[in-house]
Amino acid sequence: MKIRWFGHACFELTALDGTKVLTDPFDESVGYMVPQVEVAVVTISHGHFDHAYLGGLRGRPRILRAPGTYKEGALTITTVRTHHDPSGGRLRGENLLFRLDDGDISLLHAGDLGHTLTAEQVTACDRVDVLLIPVGGTYTLDAEGAQRVVDQLKPRLVIPMHFRTDALSFPLAPVEPFLAGRPHRRVPSHTVEVTGATLPAATEIWVLQYV
């Protein structure tokens, strides 16, 4: 699976058969360059402006924003219902986790997850090879909370998202607290390609560049 980061919680994911998925696209106010891409599917974890902007898309992609199980090409896409905050959604509403499995890699995009998972949610996530998880706090998990979710899901690769960068227009914590004392590397690119055979043997954090 090829993973390209556009910034914030927005990734282009290319499955084994070439099926492309865009996650949580943002509008221009967020500070990053709005993706101008053509994909088969767009996943929307929740309806906020920095995760649900469709204006930059080309073509007529399938928009997934409700709980369910979906098929697109080689991909099986399933959802897990969670919340945007630790108060059962009373502060910021619901959030969907999207699990994408192309037969080789299972990837979980955590959207704006705001709490650690229940036992039932962990079971629903099934096997997670690659975890895309928010770490910047304020509106989502912070570094400590994100690490607890990593411990729950035990992915082989963790790619942090939704943290402060020079481009971001609103305040979040930087990625460094999440990296402290944990195996990690900074990838000098916005894109990586992984297979089941090339994933790290033990959990490792990779930080992508957004440009």
H-helix or E-strand containing 22? Answer: strand 20-23
Cβ-contact 173, 139 below 8 angstroms: no
Cβ-contact 40, 19 below 8 angstroms: yes
Predicted local confidence at residue 75, as pLDDT: 98
Fold classified for 2-183: Metallo-beta-lactamase; Chain A (3.60.15)
What tens-digit pLDDT sequence spans the chain (211 residues)? Answer: 999 999 999 999 999 999 999 999 999 999 999 999 999 999 999 988 899 999 888 999 999 999 999 999 999 999 999 998 887 777 776 999 999 999 999 999 999 999 999 999 999 999 999 999 999 999 999 999 999 999 999 999 999 999 999 999 999 999 999 999 999 999 999 999 999 999 999 999 999 999 8
Predicted local confidence at residue 90, as pLDDT: 74
C-alpha to C-alpha distance for 63 and 54, rounded to whole angstroms: 9
Residue 211, SS3 per DSSP:
coil
Predicted local confidence at residue 28, as pLDDT: 94
- Sequence-distant (≥ 6) Cβ neighbours of residue 159 within 8 angstroms: 3, 5, 130, 131, 132, 133, 205, 206, 207, 208
- Sequence-distant (≥ 6) Cβ neighbours of residue 88 within 8 angstroms: none
Residue 179, SS3 per DSSP:
helix
H-helix or E-strand containing 124? Answer: helix 119-125
> How is residue 20 written in tokens?
């492309």
Backbone phi and psi for residue 173, each to the nearest 5 degrees, phi listed first: -75, 150
Q: How many CB atoms lie within 10 A of CB 43?
A: 27
| CB burial readout 168-182, b (16+ within 10 A) else e | beeebbebebbbeee
Predicted local confidence at residue 92, as pLDDT: 77
Predicted local confidence at residue 8, as pLDDT: 97
Q: Which of 38, 37, 39, 26 is nearest to 165 (CA)?
A: 26
Predicted local confidence at residue 56, as pLDDT: 84
pTM for the model stands at 0.96
C-alpha to C-alpha distance for 187 and 210, rounded to whole angstroms: 10
